[in-house]
Structure 1
């Protein structure tokens, strides 16, 4: 029938929930995204598709279209006070969803994102945005986040080293995101991936892309489309709409390991697409880690996870690699650095994960790094990472000595509040 999916055991949303279901559709290939949206509209005559053209956003100009299977309903150009993605979400995208939910009762909504907009930004904004004093999530239900991947273009975009600005896709003058960064974020935040191919797509290439997507987002359901040249629109709609797959409690990609959730899957086949997970309690030496970052990621397509460096033992560092650049940022305090009464500032899942793996000396401090790539040298990368950790002698010097280690990251990861942490250290 032209559509297939791997087995699922999803829990369907309650039949008592009468909020319109919103399917968020993203992807970096406009043609494949448009074709998927059109197929879903054909399958459901009461479905409304909302799309925003960001071509003029840097000048504060936004074009919004709303259409059904039978034709356009709205085609409006507006001016924004601030031309940026976050402003667009708050000032137009989310208010439009609420308005359509009220004016078209009984219709579900399909939010089709422009290539440069990441679905996690929509999820974050929807959790905090109100329209006319009412939370957005009281009016609509975000049912599923679906990412469309063009099998013939995906790997090229993933290995690209250019930025969005190189393709004139940047949303603002200070938008320096890499193409590969946006591509992996779209896939990783999804709960469903539509793998779009063509009758002449090479079967081995298609298999490789499917494996790569599974390495990037093992939690997502894959739906393969159009390999026969004929598309079953109803079958596609059944597999991606009203599935209830979106979990609003799931943290962003870089917070998964803190809650004890998996960030990598073990290699179970002979594919050249491989992934590895490096875990350790021992902290990194800041200078050695800094000097080795390029070599660590040399053969990886994607890196993600959390780590800690000895010179800044209170700080959880997020590690991210895509598009040729490594990004380190702060995820806040380790629980071991906080007074017990402040643990409630974090999620229940994170507290449970910390309790289950608590170390008498390190507390919840731990490194969990996933690397995904083609023909990764697991042994070599593991040895390189181990060489960046504190030696036994350096470890024996203890917490009081570590802040004096040479640290090229000094001042790069400020925490938002100051606390006295001495009493919480070993």
Structure 2
């Protein structure tokens, strides 16, 4: 298996890079995120912090504030052509970062994202949008994506069933994400996680939150900060100039397909936290899987991964659960279902991962699901999912028979006829509600 995409680069590479460094801070609880930002400013007055207040975004207006450790440098209202987070990123955030690198040469930057922004969306904009005809990487180096979690509110956020529209903080009119969706995606894309403060339930519960974060994002660097005593210098050394970010880091649902760690199997509770990984080669029977969807996620905080159904053997099916809701959707074709002349359109990392795990009968098709929760029973979970796999007799019937099974998921995961490209593993496609009732 390839090494973690967050592994440090060689020192010679870092030393040779003279571009200003950008640290991206995200977090659903702005008080904790801003506290980390203030600590970084206190340790280095030359650092520039960029924030965008989205309170007026639905009216097409955002407030941009740029400050250093010495005080506010800019405080302006920005009018947008369209009121949404992605427009804010393209029309003002990226141009502001580039402008600051030229107007304040030699000074590093920290971008504090709005509470409902997801770091993966920011990374996508940075990778594909040009500023003054050039990619943002020509002007600065993204050093790290840091997510700050408030220990007092973390579990409530992860288990919340409320959506952003109900809370009145949606990023756009069609933003149907739940609060939990935002929090888990901020956690899972980050290369660095900061657990800020203490749980109101005491030290044991704070430790439990730390273990939960370790299970949710085993690929990240994990840092705990006591909000009563903050060593700004130490925090700066932990968060800045780390070179942790990797552009090639896939989204969490594509991690397993590309050979990266999707989760860790820790079935013995640690502070009550259990992480169970289910892997299998056989396909799921669609009806039997549909019948246990509610059961397998009943006590789960987060589950994610990909699977294949006997009735739809060409399709990689995405699976993610958070905040009481399960979303399923298409991640494109299994490679075994494609002619070899179309493999050249597939990401190299995925082809390598498939080759290393190729099965002479199933090809690259497999089940890979991760379940994380408090006091869940991993043995019962495995027994339930294993019971959804095809039996020996069903396997013997062959693929043509499998395709005729009654399928409650029929039509939920369409595959286009176009050539397979990297976008087949793009999980930004809205899969909300893909689970049949």
Q: TM-score range by the shorter chain?
A: over 0.9
Residue 249 of structure 1 corresponds to 248
How far apart, CA to CA, are the structure 1 residues paired with 2:106 and 2:416? 45
Question: CA offset at residue 115 of structure 1?
Answer: 0.9
User: CA shift at 1:408, angstroms?
Assistant: 1.8
2:312–2:403 Cα contact (<8 Å) kept: yes
Asked if structure 2 preserves the Cα contact closer than 8 Å seen for 1:24 and 1:144, the reply is yes
Secondary structure of 1:258's aligned partner: coil
1:337-391 superposed Cα distances (whole Å, 9 cap, x missing partner): 1121222222222111111111111100011000000011111111111122222
Matched, 1:10 2:8: yes
- Counterpart mapping for 1:124-143 below 5 A: 124-143=124-143
Deviates more, 1:342-351 or 1:39-48: 342-351
Instruction: State how 1:167-186 maps to structure 2 within 5 Å.
Output: 167-186=167-186
Q: 5+ residue gaps in structure 1? A: 1-7, 421-426
The corresponding residue for 2:372 is 372
Cα deviation, residue 200, structure 1:
7.3
In 1, Cα distance between the equivalents of 2:254 and 2:36? 30
Q: Is this contact kept in 2: 1:199–1:226, CA < 8 A?
A: no
Could you say which residue in structure 2 is the equivalent of 1:314?
A: 314
Instruction: Kindly report which structure 2 residues correspond to 1:207-222, keeping only aligned pairs within 5 A, or say none.
Output: 207-222=207-222
Q: Partner residue of 1:323? A: 323
Alignment of 1:262 with 2:245, yes or no, is no
C-alpha separation in 1, matches of 2:322 and 2:369: 14
RMSD of aligned residue pairs (Cα, Å): 1.8
Deviation at 1:198, TM superposition (A): 4.4
Alignment of 1:172-211 (within 5 A): 172-198=172-198, 202-211=202-211
Q: Unmatched 5+ residue regions in structure 2?
A: 1-5, 421-437
Within a 5 Å distance, the mapping from 1:25-424 to structure 2 comes to 25-198=25-198, 202-226=202-226, 229-267=228-266, 270-418=270-418
2:54 & 2:419 partners in 1: Cα distance? Answer: 43
Q: Distance in 1 between matches of 2:274 and 2:86?
A: 35
> Offset at 1:269?
6.0
The secondary structure found in structure 2 opposite 1:326 is strand
Equivalent residues of 2:287, 2:408 under 8 A apart: yes
Whole-Å separation in 2 of the counterparts to 1:400 and 1:71: 69
Larger deviation, residues 251-260 vs 341-350: 341-350
Calculate the TM-score normalised by the size of structure 1.
0.93
- Contact kept, 8 Å, 1:155 with 1:209, in 2: the verdict is yes
Partner residue of 1:3? Answer: none
Q: How many residues align?
A: 412
Runs of 4+ in 1 over 3 A off after TM superposition: 8-13, 198-201
Question: Are the counterparts in 2 of residues 165 and 175 from structure 1 also a CA contact under 8 Å?
Answer: yes
> Secondary structure of 1:394's match?
helix
Cα distance per residue 1:85-125 (max 9 Å; x no partner) = 21111111111111111111101110001110000100111
**What is the SS of the residue equivalent to 2:261?**
coil
